[in-house]
Structure 1
Amino acid sequence: MADADGSMMRASVEEILGVEPAGADCFIGGARDVNHIGHVFGGRLVAQALMSAVRTVEAMPPTSLHSYFLAPALASVPIEYRVTRLRDSRRFANRQVLAVQDGQPVFTLACQFHAPEDGFIHQAATMPDVPPPEDVPTLQQFVREHEDRLNFAAIRNFSGALPMEMRVIAPEAYFLDRLERPVRDFWFRLPGAAAVDDPRAQACLLAYGSDYWLAGVSATPHGFPTNSAELLISSLDHALWFHRPVRCDQWFLHHTESPSATDGLGFTRGQIFDRDGRLMASTAQECLLRRLRPGSQASGETK
Structure 2
Amino acid sequence: MADGGTGQAGDAAMRVSAGEILAIEPAGGDRFIGGAGGVNHIGTVFGGRLVAQALLSAVRTVAAMPPTSLHGYFLAPAQVSLPIEYRVARLRDSRRFAHRQVTAVQEGRAVFTLLCQFHAPEDGFVHQAAEMPDVPPPEEVATLQQFVRDNGDRLDFAAIRNFSGALPIEMRAIAPEAYFYERPREPMRDFWFRLPGAAAIDDPREQACLLAYASDYWLAGVSATPHGFPTNSSSLLISSLDHGLWFHRPVRCDEWLLHHTHSPAAADGLGFAQGRIFDREGRLVASTTQECLLRQLPPEA
Same fold (TM over 0.5): yes
Match of 1:300 in 2: none
Match of 1:202 in 2: 207
Offset of residue 295 of structure 1? 3.7
Q: Which amino acid in 2 is paired with 1:202?
A: Q
Q: Aligned pairs, how many?
A: 295
Q: 1:147 to 1:260 in 2, by over 3 A?
A: same
Structure 2 portions without partners, runs of 5+ = none
Matched, 1:16 2:33: no
Matched, 1:58 2:57: no
| Root-mean-square deviation (Å) | 1.2
Matched, 1:270 2:275: yes
Match of 1:224 in 2: 229
State TM-score, norm by structure 2. 0.96
Q: Which amino acid in 2 is paired with 1:142?
A: F
2:78 and 2:266 mapped to 1: Cα distance? 26
* Of 123, 129, 147, the match for 1:142: 147
Q: SS of the counterpart of 2:193?
A: strand
Matched, 1:111 2:135: no
What are the within-5 Å matches in structure 2 for residues 34-45 of structure 1? 34-45=39-50
Matched, 1:96 2:96: no
State TM-score, norm by structure 1. 0.96
2:54 and 2:114 mapped to 1: Cα distance? 7
Q: Is the 8 A contact 1:7 1:156 kept in 2?
A: no
Match of 1:151 in 2: 156
Q: 1:242 to 1:6 in 2, by over 3 A?
A: closer
Match of 1:82 in 2: 87
Match of 2:78 in 1: 73
Offset of residue 143 of structure 1? 0.3
1:261 and 1:4 mapped to 2: Cα distance? 28
Offset of residue 294 of structure 1? 3.0
Q: Is the 8 A contact 1:6 1:156 kept in 2?
A: no
Q: Is the 8 A contact 2:7 2:166 kept in 1?
A: no
Q: Which amino acid in 2 is paired with 1:14?
A: G
2:105 and 2:262 mapped to 1: Cα distance? 32
Structure 1 portions without partners, runs of 5+ = 297-303
Match of 2:134 in 1: 129
Offset of residue 33 of structure 1? 1.2
